[in-house]
Amino acid sequence: MTDEEIEAIERQQAEASKRWRNLWRVHFYSGIIVAPFLVMFAITGLVILYTQPIQDGLESDLRRVDRGTETVAFDAQAATVESNLSDDMIVSMTPPGDAGASTTFGLESGRVAYVDPYTGEYLGTGESQTTLVRWANTFHGHLNNDSVTISLPTVSALWDGDKVMRDYVVGDLILELAGTWLVILALTGLYLFWPRKSREPRSEANGKRMWSFRLNKKGRAKWRDLHALPGAVLFIMLLFVAASGLPWSTYWGPNFTALANEISPNTWTDAPSSPIGVKGDLDRLGNQISWNTGDIPIPASYRPADDADVPTPLSLDDLTMIAREEGMKPDYTIHFPANGVDDAGNPLYGSFTLSNSWPRKTGETKDVFIDQFSGATLGQQNVYGYGSVSRAVDTTVSIHMGTQWGIVSRILMTLTCVLTLWSVASAAVMYSKRRRKGTLGLPRRPAEVHLGRGLVVIAVVMGIVYPLWGASALIILAFDKFVIRRNRRLKVAFGQR
């Protein structure tokens, strides 16, 4: 090998080393940004995954009953609720999902009333979600802050024809930023884990193999393996939960939904809308509708023209029979009609809406609209009304919620949450071991930053796909150049040479 070839190799290795160190810094600072949110996401995610057993355990006196042989008519159960809660109107009913469950009545106030289906006894009321589950959903979704908003330009104005500046909830924007930086954390983590040419995997006798734990080592080497190997296993799932969680985000989610509907439009049931408006208006009991169905029109039941008087609506027992005929899944909900008048003052009579519970498997998406007087099916909406993009994304959302593959997806998402908590804990241990006393322990920054064309292209694509992340990255780069580099103390603290 000539001297020129050796020098070329050394230059390549030097550039690779700078690139590796810079990406390590990106990984480190991404971890600082994301770690608190990862802990919050993992803990609240576990609560959400096991919502039903948690609520059944905490409110067993309301939600669980002794199994009987005969049940009381649902209309009689509803009358019991009305007699006990005359000031709170019933808006929905969920029949017992199994032989040991109570009947659930959704109330206009957002509370839920429970009745023993075998005795007809009024069991009491509670929130639609127990305190623990409600707080888990609140923090997992918008940091318990949906009142503070900020106006930002939106890219979806390019294709949906709506206004450019729109208001967004600050808590949602923070969570969306955490999700996009999680993508960066996962990608840089895999890059750091993957062996470099200068550090090819060697035999076990000579050194570290790619997929092995050096438990006999002391200090950072052992903890690096305890952090990196589970992190490499977690890599795909971290990217998945970030990507599948973003459809709920305030900024990116509506932009993506608008684009998805341009690419492959959703086809909702073509039926006249009642004054209730859209399916999103039925979301009175917490998180009961999926991410992309809030604008489904609700058809109206009209009084038959040959009847002089308005007939009596169907009984709830009749509706449960219709639900069985329609193939509704256990834990489906019957949403009551909303009646009103049209612009000319003519009465409009809303339809009953049978909805499979959510979260659920994507293929089980189903809403059936029933004439409240005749019981005729006015229309229905299932997953085939989704465009192909929306259907694909809804599948990832169902996996994220632990329902798409039954117990398999539940186990997979549980493992993801547990490994996430371990990754954060092991990272904290690694940091404590590398930090010298009297210093912040931040990684040193090379004088020159060389990421390479490939990484720059990836960063640009990320900025286009996730504009909020792109804006935050530019702000950080500007802060680094115009503030940190010009302040001696900050320059030393952030490890810049």
Quote the CA–CA distance of 155 and 153 in Å, as a whole number: 7
Radius of gyration in angstroms for the set of CA atoms belonging to the chain, rounded to a whole number? 28
Residue 287: pLDDT band by 50, 70, 90 thresholds? very low
User: Is 139 within 8 Å of 88 (Cβ atoms)?
Assistant: no
- Region 127-152: mean pLDDT is 79
Kindly report whether the global pTM for this prediction surpasses the value 0.95: no
Residue 200 has what pLDDT?
A: 44
Q: What pLDDT score does 206 carry?
A: 41
Secondary element (H or E) of residue 218: none
Tokens of 146: 């949906």
Identify whether 272 is preceded by a cis peptide bond (ω within 30 of 0).
no
Report angle CA 252, 254, 259 to the nearest 5 degrees: 95
Distance CA 170, CA 480 (A): 24
Q: Among 182-186, 302-306, 359-363, 459-463, which is the least confidently predicted range?
A: 302-306
Question: How do residues 4-36 score in pLDDT, each as one tens digit?
Answer: 766 776 667 666 677 777 788 888 889 988 999
More confident residue, 302 or 66: 66
Which pLDDT tens digit goes with each residue over 34-62?
A: 999 999 999 999 999 998 899 888 899 99
**Cα separation values, 13 from 2, 191, 328, 329, Å:** 17, 16, 62, 60
> Looking up tokens 């952090």, which residue turns up?
227
Q: How far apart are CA 314 and CA 348, in angstroms?
A: 16
Q: What is the mean pLDDT of the chain?
A: 80
* Tokens representing residue 195 in the block: 């062996």
Does residue 345 carry a pLDDT above 70?
yes
Rounded to the nearest 10 degrees, what angle do helices 467-482 and 170-193 cross at?
A: 80
Q: Please give the residue that has the higher pLDDT: either 481 or 354.
A: 354
- Whether 301 and 336 have beta carbons less than 8 Å apart is answered as no
Q: What does the pLDDT look like over 214-248, one tens digit per residue?
A: 667 676 778 888 888 888 888 888 888 888 888 87
Do residues 30 and 185 touch, judged by C-beta distance below 8 A? yes
Q: What is the per-residue burial (b if ≥16 Cβ within 10 Å, else e) of 441-454? A: ebeebeeeeeeeee
Q: At what angle do helices 131-142 and 3-49 cross, to 10 degrees?
A: 150
Residue bearing tokens 């509706």: 319
155-177 mean pLDDT: 81
Q: Which of the pair, 165 or 78, is modelled with greater confidence?
A: 78
Is the predicted pLDDT of residue 269 greater than 70, yes or no? no
When mean pLDDT is compared over 114-128, 341-355, 400-414, 447-461, the highest value belongs to: 114-128
Tokens 């000539």 identify what position?
2
